[in-house]
Amino acid sequence: MSDIRTVTVLGTGVLGSQIAYQAAYSGFAVTAYDINDAAIEAAAKRFAGLAETYKAEVAGAADEKADAALRNLTLTSTLADAVADADIVIEAVPENLEIKRDTYAKLAELAPAKTIFATNSSTLLPSDMVGFTGRPERFLAMHFANRIWVHNIAEVMGTPATDPAVVQTVLEFGAEIGMVPVEIKKEKAGYLLNSLLVPFLSAAGELLVDGIAEPVDIDNTWRISTGAPMGPFQIYDMVGLTTAYNVSANGGPKQREFAALIKERYIDQGKLGMSTGEGFYTYPAK
């Protein structure tokens, strides 16, 4: 068992609110911080919505457990209060280096020496931020997936300066909040998931650009042959074509061709994937 008892989550966006709720659902005392009253009000709504989602989708959650989780959550817009007694702070603020820097500079002053700092950043490496933290040995990444109650994975990745005992504590804590904890032993951009997903999606994009086959045929082949629930073009639509464009536009020649194709055929027509109801596929109206 880890020695973590009190959890603070900074940022109550889509993923921050899920992390906070899941930790509260697992019995931890959780403080959720956001920057002002409007953000706190929005967070309270998100948490209430998550309680309903858990009741519908998580076995056992309907038996009072989803509502009990709400009682384990404290909301505040005062950072000093939020972190005063935190064993771990999970940072899920916007993916912007300036905001991260400001956040860690304040945290370094306000949090007690015992507090572990964990970033949920998807796009920055912990090494990009460790210099702001004032406690390199107690800082690492703990990376969650959207729809945390289904995709319950926590990728834990330190910097060379992270104390191995802190990595172990965070891995144990991950299991305690219902995640399958995964240790990443060296820093890797994209963690494990994107390190597999990007080459896979790129290969699919290349088949399309080269005129080998149509998206539906490529997806059918992958799904039927491997039993996976989604093919690569369904994943593109789920991730969103703007993100797909941004990743591909920074790749090799074939990837840049694919980026141009996505832009011309879809993005320029306002077709951004599932979120807009159309991308490689058409989706029913919400």
Nearer to a second copy, 131 or 199 (CB): 199
Q: DSSP letters of 2-32?
A: -S--EEEEE--SHHHHHHHHHHHHTT-EEEE
Minimum separation from the CB atom of position 70 to a second copy (A): 26
Show Cβ contacts of residue 5 under 8 Å, excluding neighbours closer than 6 positions.
Answer: 28, 29, 87
DSSP 273: B
Please give the Cα distance from 238 to 22 (Å, whole number).
23
Please give the Cα distance from 92 to 213 (Å, whole number).
40
Where on the phi/psi map is residue 134: left (φ > 0), alpha (ψ -120 to 50), or beta? left
Show Cβ contacts of residue 113 under 8 Å, excluding neighbours closer than 6 positions.
Answer: 135
Minimum separation from the CB atom of position 227 to a second copy (A): 5
Nearer to a second copy, 6 or 152 (CB): 152
Minimum separation from the CB atom of position 277 to a second copy (A): 22
Nearer to a second copy, 84 or 184 (CB): 184
Minimum separation from the CB atom of position 226 to a second copy (A): 7
Minimum separation from the CB atom of position 111 to a second copy (A): 29
Nearer to a second copy, 71 or 185 (CB): 185
Nearer to a second copy, 34 or 219 (CB): 219
Write out the residues near a second copy by the rule CB under 8 A.
Answer: 145, 151-153, 155, 180, 182-186, 188, 191-193, 195-200, 202-204, 206-207, 210-214, 217-218, 220-222, 224-230, 232, 235
Please give the Cα distance from 248 to 25 (Å, whole number).
38
